[in-house]
Chain A
Amino acid sequence: MRQAGVGGVAGATAGETAKASGVAGSRAGNERPSLARMYDYYLGGSHNFAVDREAARQVIAAVPDAPLMAQANRAFLRRVVRYLTETGIRQFLDIGSGIPTAGNVHEIAVDAKVVYVDLDPVAVAHGREILGGSDRATAIQADVRQPDRILSHPDVRRLLDFDQPVAVMIVAVLHYIADADDPAGLIGRLRDALAPGSYLALSQTCGDGRGPDERLASEEVYRRADHPLHPRTRAEIGRLFAGFELVEPGVVWVPQWRPDAGCLDDPAAAGFVGGLGRKPGLP
């Protein structure tokens, strides 16, 4: 539910500029719920509009833990970025970044280069405002389903050096990507562009351990909001790390990934499974 990356899955195969902008013209307002802004609402933020809150409240009605899940993912992201920073990673490509509010990558990895990618033009515009004229972080509008477009984006090329390790973050995004869009293939194209020693951080909803009623209820809510959900099993999520060596503890419920202290009583309540993989080889 860090909806971002597919911020506007709603409208959007955000392909052609003209097409996307034609749609964005209306979407830039607040007529349709944006995954990025719904996620902000789960996190207690006010970077959202009535239409986003309405959609988010419906999700919460179906999945009362939704705000907890968002928090758990944001905390997972924070721990991953801190881990990577300690490992020496200084470049981040955060795909599906959402509204870059407190605790985002550039605040945790303060001396790293960061490119935020989101499909929601409002999230991107907001991100640019927050980042101001920063020469080490920027936000671009793009679709996770078009990795080549992301990789060749001039801002990405300007800020990130793909001869050096880059951490690609795809946190709480892929459950909005259908199998038909070939998530493994999308990740493969990103992986191929990365230098050895690069990382992939990934999390998404996992249906394991959930009652079918609850699953159906949340899926129905997102489907009504034009954001159909695609939960995957932990094994399926593990396979998305093909070509990466998993960092301990592997693919787990996100609260279990290198927790600080006082882990949630029921990690599965977070609903998200995630992990961190390293592209083999010396940087």
Chain B
Amino acid sequence: MTAAPPEPAARWPGAAAFARAWAKAVMGTSYVPMTQAELEQHLLSLTVRLAAGLTREPIDVRVGYEIGGELVATHLTSPEGLGRTVEVIELRLLRDLGMACEADPDGAAVQDRLARVLGALTTGFTRALRDRTLDEQETIRRAALVARDQAERALRVSEARFRYQATHDPLTGLPNRALFAERLGAMFAAVASHETARIGLCFIDLDGFKAVNDSLGHHVGDQLLVAVAGRLGDRITQHLVARMGGDEFVVLIEESTCVDDAIKVADAALAAVAEPVHIGGHELCVSASIGIVEREVVGTEPNEVMRAADITLHWAKSAGKGRWALFDPERNAREVARYALSAGMPGALDRDEFYLEYQPLVSLAGGGLVGVEALVRWRHPELGVLYPNRFVGIAEETGLIVRLGSAILAQACAQAVAWGGDTYVSVNLAVRQVRDPRLVPDVTAILHETGLPAARLQLELTESAVMSGDDEPVSALRALADLGVRMVIDDFGTGYSNLSYLRTLPVHGLKVDGSFVAGLDRDPPDGSTDERILAALVSLGHTLGLTVTAEGVETAGQAERLRAIGCDAAQGWYFGVPGPAEQVPGLYPYAAVQNG
């Protein structure tokens, strides 16, 4: 800033003409954010200052420096702007302002002064321009850094959002299956083989969620899930709670110390779910079933733990829901074995792995062979020979018992024809077979195909098979009786022993369960009680015109007592263990051998 007071423009009458020429000279050289008139006005003020500096004693060259800077500040920044400014000042300033002839007639001194001021002006201009350029470069570089930071931050945010979306359930906001699997996998990866870290897993499934969805709509169902998820997340804060999908949730207990840790979590989850949820005017009461697995990390793997939890969840469901169940490896092993047998059974039937053994039924009065009971065996390729207690129950559950029963009936009939004679072959009928509408045609066809006389076939039915209350089994039994097939009630005395059916059913005999026979060897009072029951059953049977056969006879004493009571026939180890079909013909001389 100049120290001198502002010069009145009036002192330089030619200044306006010069400023106009100056403005014209620099027009278009740079973008100047002002009108031509404003520019002229501005340059006029610079002209006056320039003139004042030139004429001051001693000369003040700083004014040239300042004006150079002000040109830059006015955005007259182009090289052309400077060039034309120098040119117009040199050509016109002294003349327009009438300075040449004032104090310096030869003009040499003022020319000298002008050169010094112009030198200062170009210095001021270029310095200001350089500073401005450096400043602008600095700001633009800073802006570039800011922009890059923002871009990187935006990228991180979007990555974080993407990661969140990829690892969380959009409905409930809980971690999803992917995040759960990641954490579970990380747990296993972090544990070395010698460590004793334990893992707990609660696999939670809502009971009756489908009913809510079906009756109140998916919208309400979704809200219920959100509410339940919120509670689980709020109550179980120490552990990862994830939604696996549908109405399934899982809690991962990463630093479990014992089973109780997991049970506490499961109890908390049950309590959280049990509180009623209010949605859209509905009060929804749901419960949950939970499968708990708690064990050492070493020795298992994520998939195995998940599967165990899933299995255990089903145990909780089948045990009545609204509860937790704890994984039991032995139970699991049994179920796995059972499942393997169940799955292998159809193939085993196709490969004829089921075969029959026969146990003799002997007349207590005469000692002669009256028949044989067919007992099914499974020659399992890996497990060896399996007895019916291992697989008949499974076959009944799966329904395969109908096919199996039919196959062994056919086998028994064919073998009975092969060994000939007039003894009957006794074959067990399962409940489902009796209720199967194909039973009668099936038996008819088998008898026809094998050529076995109907009188040589005896079918053993349990009390429950004939007591269904339906008419169908009864009519089927009548049809079989009409064919001439014998029918006996198996395990008589151990079921409900409703005697009314004995009046109406075409039954030929009773088989008394071996548990009564076993009592015959015992001392009174048990022994005598069983004996009296047996006597009563024999009496009952005979009263109704039925033969009575005792099962499970193992000793000569038992046989003697049964004979004394008047029991008709008996079977058991005492009379012969089950043996292959080929041995049956050899049983015919049985009576002779026994009776000496």
A residues contacting B by CB (< 8 A) are 17-18, 21-22, 24-25, 28-30, 37, 43-49, 68, 70-71, 74-75, 78, 99, 102-103, 107-108, 121-126, 128-130, 260-262, 264
A30 to B142 Cα, complex, angstroms: 12
**Chain A residues within an 8 Å CB radius of B31:** 43-44, 70-71, 74-75, 103
Q: Is the CB of A25 within 8 A of B148?
A: yes
Other-chain contact of A47, B27, B75, B140 (Cβ < 8 Å): B140
Q: Is the CB of B152 within 8 A of A25?
A: yes
Other-chain contact of B33, A37, A47, A107, A122 (Cβ < 8 Å): A107
For the complex, is B458 an interface residue (Cβ under 8 Å from A)?
no
- Closest approach, in angstroms, between the C-beta of A42 and any C-beta of chain B? 9
Known: A44-B30, A103-B33, A107-B33. A122 touches B155 (CB 8 A): no
**Chain B residues within an 8 Å CB radius of A121:** 147, 150-151
A126 to B154 Cα, complex, angstroms: 18
Q: Is the CB of A29 within 8 A of B36?
A: no
Selected A-B contacts with CB under 8 Å, 14 pairs = A21-B154, A46-B133, A46-B136, A68-B28, A71-B28, A75-B31, A78-B33, A121-B147, A122-B147, A124-B147, A125-B146, A129-B143, A260-B35, A262-B24
Q: Top 6 A-B pairs ranked by shortest CB distance? A: A103-B33, A126-B143, A46-B136, A121-B147, A21-B154, A28-B147
**Chain A residues within an 8 Å CB radius of B142:** 129
Known: A125-B147, A125-B150, A262-B36. A102 touches B75 (CB 8 A): yes
For the complex, is B494 an interface residue (Cβ under 8 Å from A)?
no
**Chain B residues within an 8 Å CB radius of A74:** 31, 33
For the complex, is B37 an interface residue (Cβ under 8 Å from A)?
yes
- Closest approach, in angstroms, between the C-beta of B72 and any C-beta of chain A? 10
How many of chain B's residues have a CB under 8 angstroms from any CB in A? 34
For the complex, is B78 an interface residue (Cβ under 8 Å from A)?
yes
- Closest approach, in angstroms, between the C-beta of A15 and any C-beta of chain B? 13
A74 to B31 Cα, complex, angstroms: 8
Residue of B139, B151, B158 contacting most chain A CB atoms (<10 Å)? B151
Please, which residue of chain B has its CB at the minimum distance from the CB of A74?
B31
Known: A71-B28, A121-B147, A261-B35. A49 touches B140 (CB 8 A): yes
Residue of A21, A22, A24, A25 contacting most chain B CB atoms (<10 Å)? A21
**Chain A residues within an 8 Å CB radius of B398:** none
Please, which residue of chain A has its CB at the minimum distance from the CB of B158?
A18
**Chain B residues within an 8 Å CB radius of A264:** 28
**Chain A residues within an 8 Å CB radius of B132:** 46
Known: A44-B30, A46-B133. A30 touches B154 (CB 8 A): no
Q: Is the CB of A126 within 8 A of B78?
A: no
- Closest approach, in angstroms, between the C-beta of B158 and any C-beta of chain A? 4
Residue of A46, A49, A126 contacting most chain B CB atoms (<10 Å)? A46
Q: Is the CB of B78 within 8 A of A30?
A: no
A247 to B155 Cα, complex, angstroms: 44
Please, which residue of chain A has its CB at the minimum distance from the CB of B155?
A21
Contact with A along B492-513 (1 / 0, CB 8 A): 0000000000000000000000
Tell me what chain A mostly uses at the interface: helix, strand, loop, or mixed.
helix
Besides A44-B30, A48-B140, A71-B30, 18 other A-B contacts (C-beta < 8 A) = A21-B154, A21-B158, A24-B147, A25-B148, A28-B148, A28-B150, A37-B140, A44-B75, A44-B78, A71-B28, A74-B31, A75-B31, A102-B75, A103-B31, A107-B33, A122-B147, A125-B146, A129-B139
**Chain B residues within an 8 Å CB radius of A44:** 30-31, 75, 77-78
Q: Is the CB of A17 within 8 A of B147?
A: no
For the complex, is B533 an interface residue (Cβ under 8 Å from A)?
no
Interfacial residues of chain B within 125-177, with CB under 8 A of chain A in the complex:
132-134, 136-137, 139-140, 142-148, 150-152, 154-155, 158-159, 162
A78 to B144 Cα, complex, angstroms: 27
Q: Is the CB of A17 within 8 A of B136?
A: no
Contact with A along B19-57 (1 / 0, CB 8 A): 000001001101101011100000000000000000000
A22 to B155 Cα, complex, angstroms: 6
Known: A21-B151, A21-B158, A44-B77. A28 touches B35 (CB 8 A): no
Known: A28-B144, A71-B28, A260-B36. A47 touches B150 (CB 8 A): no
Please, which residue of chain B has its CB at the minimum distance from the CB of A24?
B151
Q: Is the CB of A29 within 8 A of B154?
A: no
**Chain A residues within an 8 Å CB radius of B143:** 47, 122-123, 125-126, 129
Q: Is the CB of A18 within 8 A of B136?
A: no
Other-chain contact of B37, A25, A70, A261 (Cβ < 8 Å): A261
Please, which residue of chain B has its CB at the minimum distance from the CB of A75?
B31
**Chain B residues within an 8 Å CB radius of A102:** 33, 75
**Chain A residues within an 8 Å CB radius of B134:** 46
A128 to B147 Cα, complex, angstroms: 11
**Chain B residues within an 8 Å CB radius of A70:** 31
A264 to B24 Cα, complex, angstroms: 12
**Chain A residues within an 8 Å CB radius of B24:** 262
**Chain B residues within an 8 Å CB radius of A122:** 140, 143-144, 147
A128 to B152 Cα, complex, angstroms: 18
Q: Is the CB of B151 within 8 A of A46?
A: no
- Closest approach, in angstroms, between the C-beta of B88 and any C-beta of chain A? 16
Known: A44-B75, A121-B151, A262-B27. A30 touches B36 (CB 8 A): no
A123 to B140 Cα, complex, angstroms: 8
- Closest approach, in angstroms, between the C-beta of B443 and any C-beta of chain A? 74
Please, which residue of chain A has its CB at the minimum distance from the CB of B140?
A47
A123 to B389 Cα, complex, angstroms: 85
Please, which residue of chain B has its CB at the minimum distance from the CB of A71?
B31
- Closest approach, in angstroms, between the C-beta of B150 and any C-beta of chain A? 7
A108 to B34 Cα, complex, angstroms: 10
- Closest approach, in angstroms, between the C-beta of B494 and any C-beta of chain A? 74
- Closest approach, in angstroms, between the C-beta of B137 and any C-beta of chain A? 5
A197 to B22 Cα, complex, angstroms: 41
- Closest approach, in angstroms, between the C-beta of B319 and any C-beta of chain A? 49
Q: Is the CB of A126 within 8 A of B33?
A: no
Please, which residue of chain A has its CB at the minimum distance from the CB of B37?
A261
A75 to B159 Cα, complex, angstroms: 44
Please, which residue of chain A has its CB at the minimum distance from the CB of B76?
A44
Please, which residue of chain A has its CB at the minimum distance from the CB of B162?
A18
A30 to B151 Cα, complex, angstroms: 14
Please, which residue of chain A has its CB at the minimum distance from the CB of B138?
A46
Please, which residue of chain B has its CB at the minimum distance from the CB of A261?
B36
A10 to B148 Cα, complex, angstroms: 17
**Chain A residues within an 8 Å CB radius of B30:** 44, 71
**Chain A residues within an 8 Å CB radius of B158:** 17-18, 21
Q: Is the CB of B35 within 8 A of A47?
A: no
A260 to B154 Cα, complex, angstroms: 45
Q: Is the CB of A46 within 8 A of B137?
A: yes
Please, which residue of chain B has its CB at the minimum distance from the CB of A108?
B33
- Closest approach, in angstroms, between the C-beta of A167 and any C-beta of chain B? 18
A18 to B158 Cα, complex, angstroms: 6
- Closest approach, in angstroms, between the C-beta of A142 and any C-beta of chain B? 14
**Chain B residues within an 8 Å CB radius of A25:** 148, 151-152, 155
A18 to B152 Cα, complex, angstroms: 10
A20 to B436 Cα, complex, angstroms: 71
**Chain A residues within an 8 Å CB radius of B75:** 44, 102-103
A46 to B146 Cα, complex, angstroms: 18
A18 to B153 Cα, complex, angstroms: 10
**Chain B residues within an 8 Å CB radius of A124:** 147
Residue of B36, B140, B150, B158 contacting most chain A CB atoms (<10 Å)? B140
- Closest approach, in angstroms, between the C-beta of B517 and any C-beta of chain A? 83
A262 to B534 Cα, complex, angstroms: 135
Q: Is the CB of A17 within 8 A of B146?
A: no
A255 to B30 Cα, complex, angstroms: 15
A177 to B78 Cα, complex, angstroms: 31
**Chain B residues within an 8 Å CB radius of A126:** 139-140, 143
A220 to B592 Cα, complex, angstroms: 121
Interfacial residues of chain B within 286-323, with CB under 8 A of chain A in the complex:
none
